[in-house]
Structure 1
Amino acid sequence: MDKWATLYKKAQKEYSPRDVTPFIYAHNVVSALEAEDGKIFTGFCIESCSGVCNLCAERVAALNMFVNSGQTQIKRIITFRDKAPTEKETSSMPCGACREFLMQLDIKNKHTEILVDYEKRKVTTLEQLIPNWWGLSR
């Protein structure tokens, strides 16, 4: 089994959309990442009635990585809803807030591979998604 299949299976276990409370909906987008040391961490989205309180699956996975291992560097990440990512399904791409968070977490994350299409194993990098990132000059 290749790394993408392993990440897919780990993330898929988190997929179980449900209301947590009348105000919180969760587990409808899932993510798994491989940290620099090869360990895998997962996350799921948490959506609230107030958008500023939302947490995307990618950020939850990255926070799980940091909290549980102290690591900040991500080798690769997969994100999806009910099925593996395809080029036609844009929910597999990190939102702007996630892109920014991952870059701020570790500048080396610019090399993070983000799976675009599971069947084709097509990837992009964080750097390709946010070229000329403002923080490079700091």
Structure 2
Amino acid sequence: MSHDLFEAARDAMAFAHAPYSKFPVGAAIRAEDGKVYTGANIENISYPQGWCAEPTAISAMIMGGAKRIVEIAVIAEKLPLCPPCGGCRQKIAEFASPATRIYLCDEAGVKTTMTIDELLPHGFKTDVLG
């Protein structure tokens, strides 16, 4: 992983709106087009019905014209590691290959690397994207 993906996730975390959980989270995706797309968690008063950082980044990727996640970095303030929640794991899997790398980061950098298949071994499988 390039250090730029970690930095992009960390920078995205600054845009989080997390008044309820108090845990800002940032995510950065490198898509098949080589571009980096970012997102942050955005909570609302009907917590937990906000947006996690990962689907916010996926939305930016889709709106940017890309369709496939090559790798993704996730970081959370005040937490040693922040693996994607179950719903986010499934969302990532929808746009990833089984070998897509997930980087779990802390303030210093990448601490753990997993594939989406390791993180979600029995997720729903689709061939929507071919």
TM-score, scaled relative to structure 1: 0.73
- Where 1:46 maps in the other structure, the secondary structure is coil
Q: Deviations over 1:77-129 (max 9, x none)?
A: 1111238xxxx8231x111010111222x3x4322101135756641011111
Length-normalised TM-score, structure 2: 0.77
The one-letter code sitting in structure 1 at the alignment partner of 2:72 is I
The answer for the alignment partner of 2:80 in structure 1 is 89
Percent identical pairs in the alignment equals 25
Q: 2:44 aligns with which of 43, 48, 70?
A: 48
Alignment check: 8 A CA contact 1:45 1:55 kept: yes
Contact 1:44 1:58 (8 Å CA) reproduced: yes
Runs (5+) with no aligned partner, structure 2: none
Which residues of 2 match residues 1-138 of structure 1 at below 5 A? 3=2, 5-16=3-14, 28-51=24-47, 53-69=49-65, 71-82=66-77, 89-91=80-82, 93-104=83-94, 106=95, 108-116=96-104, 122-135=112-125
CA distance in 2: counterparts of 1:9 and 1:48, whole angstroms: 26
Residues 116 and 122 in structure 1, CA contact (< 8 A), matched pair in contact too = yes
Deviations 1:23-61 (A, max 9, x none): 888981111110012110010000112135311101100
One-letter identity of the residue aligned with 2:6: Y
Q: Deviations over 1:7-34 (max 9, x none)?
A: 12222222336768xx888981111110
> Root-mean-square deviation (CA), in Å?
3.2
How many pairs were matched up?
Answer: 126
Greater share of helix residues, 1 or 2? 1
Q: Say which structure, 1 or 2, has more relative contact order (CA 8 Å, 6+ apart).
A: 2
Displaced runs of 4 or more, over 6 A? 23-27
